[in-house]
A and B are shown apart, each in its own frame.
Chain A
Amino acid sequence: MSKRLKHRLRSVAVVAALLILPQVVQERYFLHIVVMAGIYTIMTMSWNLLAGYSGQLNLGHAAFFGIGAYSSALLAMKLGVSPWFGLLGGGVIAGFFGFLLGFPALRLSGPYLAITTIGFAEILRLVAVNWVDLTRGSLGLSGIPLLTPIRLGSWGMEFYFERDYYYVVLAAVVFTYFCMLRFTHSEFGVSLQALRDDEQGAQSIGIHTSQYKLAVFTISAFFAGMAGGLFAHFTRLVSPDTMSLHVTFDTLTMTMIGGLGTTAGPILGAVLLSLLSEWLRTLEDFFRMDIRLVLYGFLLILTIRFMREGLVGVVRALKEGFSSYGKGRNAGGDHD
């Protein structure tokens, strides 16, 4: 009970700190980075559900991000749909594409699935480049509308500044986190992990693995699409680059370094690497190259080689180390 209370209190403290952050640090550039980190957090959490919990190595996640970004931008620009519904619409459309990408996953796995999903994203990127009438090609869509103001009686909120978007993205991150927590810690999540660990074993206990794969591809794509929509209305510029492999690679790197298949890993990875890569950018002039990628690659190798559960694994090991150290001392005390 007291442990649970402690847990609750800690959650409340974290949320409170996040809520007052933009009041404390008002520098817009910093808040821009934090908002982008939040958007990436939604990407990593959704990719983690697919790759970490279900074992489906999807390397086309950027496609869902891009589809969400384009859909939500175009819904607002061409059809005049409120961006708020556009966010949802972008998620739903991305979810539909996720469902479609689920079908090859029924027959393929491992590297074959990975390559197929890269191809899928690449095709969609080329569509975005070439369908100039709709997407304005490689120029991209610009002048995407801001999120429309919210009014509740006398209270209102407008969306001009990073600070305002910060709260929207924070809400989306918390919502996504809550959903992922529920998904993974339920009969649904146990079933996904079962099919990840042994597909034939899962089928032998009645798990309709094909349906689960389609469902998890759809769900994961929905959240990635929502992240794309937030990105579109925040940066107000969407280009085919949103679907390029480097977006997937960033997502993958953040998730793996944070801790694949863990609850906190994707958040930890996305936030730390986003901040780190901004800092590294300032060193670019000094190194005269993109030091970022070198470091990412290095960290990734370290993670895969030594710590499969990433930073979460490191923290866990340290905690266990401390507690067993404590126990060791206690045992010694008993001896006396």
Chain B
Amino acid sequence: MAKAGTPVAIMTEILKIENLTKYFGGLCAVDSVSFSLDEKVIMGLIGPNGAGKTTLVNMISGAIPPNHGRILFNGTDIAGHKAHAINNRGIARTFQVVRIFSKLTALENVMAGLVDRRQKGPWRLAFASLVGGFGKQSQNPENRAAAEGLLELVGIGGYRDELAENLPYALTKRLEIARALATRPKLLLLDEPSSGLNPAELVDQIALIREINKQGITILIIEHVMKVIMDISDRLVVIHYGKKIADGKPEAVYTDPNVVEAYLGGESHAAR
């Protein structure tokens, strides 16, 4: 706790987005969006279907390059960098439609994320595999324990030796979160992690996201389920047809006339 008289710790900006824009042919999927995100905050990103939320996350994570604008991560512009390089810098993500490694076990999925890729490229790993000690290195005890810990954290410890393709859909979404956390991110981007969950699972999900945040990880979460987003967001950004239309405290944003209009006017998909 801060001593009396000393200033409260100044929030540092981890992510700052400036005029980010993406066109798909003639369609402007993300239209000059700007916002900044302080460290250790949980920020919700909402908007009707097709608003451009996933596209925004794709640009931040490097899956696709933006047409214009800057993405400052800890002060460095990473716009247009490759996805693997952005992950190496400390941004991890999950996907709206899961992209797990189906023929690997749950444990191996997470262990793939644990490899320190800032230090080790393929040649070094290949060489190390030949000269390293006997036994299966993919199961080296430290990594194994860490991977098991992450599977426990997301609540699928019992499935560790199951092939990922055999997991029920809801659990593959959690596996993706564990895999993302394995890369030790400072910023985690979650693209609709709660889709397809039942009410009991939603409660677990909220607790999990809080727990991850408590470990000092900043979170940007796209969510359709209003209960989740209102519950956990410190801050809410709304986009509509690629444009940012609201930004602020969840309660304030929820009653913002622009937002109400956007949800009721358009396909009122998310207005639950």
Contact = CB atoms under 8 A, between A and B. Distances in A.
B99 to A, nearest CB: 3
Contacts of A214: 122
A34 B183 CA distance: 47
Nearest to B127: A188
Given A186-B138, A187-B137, A215-B122, A205 B87 contact: yes
Contacts of A235: none
A196 B104 CA distance: 10
Contact of A201 (B88, B99, B115, B126): B99
Interface string A204-219: 1111110110111001
Contact of B122 (A193, A201, A208, A261): A208
A281 interface: no
B115 A187 contact: yes
Given A197-B102, A205-B113, A189 B87 contact: no
SS class, residues of chain A in contact with chain B: helix
Contacts of A182: 129-130, 132
B101 A194 contact: yes
Interface residues of B, number: 43
Contact of A193 (B62, B87, B101): B101
Nearest to B99: A201
A216 B125 CA distance: 12
B121 A211 contact: yes
Interface string B130-146: 10100011100000000
B102 to A, nearest CB: 5
Which of B111, B132, B138 has the most C-beta atoms of chain A within 10 angstroms of its own C-beta?
B138
B182 to A, nearest CB: 7
A204 B180 contact: yes
A185 B138 contact: yes
A204 B101 CA distance: 12
A206 B137 contact: no
B108 A190 contact: yes
A238 B179 CA distance: 49
Contacts, number: 127
B100 A198 contact: yes
Contact of B130 (A179, A193, A205): A179
Contact of B82 (A193, A202, A203, A219): A203
Contact of A200 (B63, B123, B132, B182): B63
B93 interface: yes
B100 A193 contact: no
B83 interface: yes
Given A201-B100, A215-B122, A261-B103, A186 B137 contact: yes
Nearest to B108: A190
B126 A204 contact: no
A189 B138 CA distance: 8
B61 interface: yes
Closest 4 CB pairs of A and B: A201-B99, A186-B129, A206-B87, A203-B83
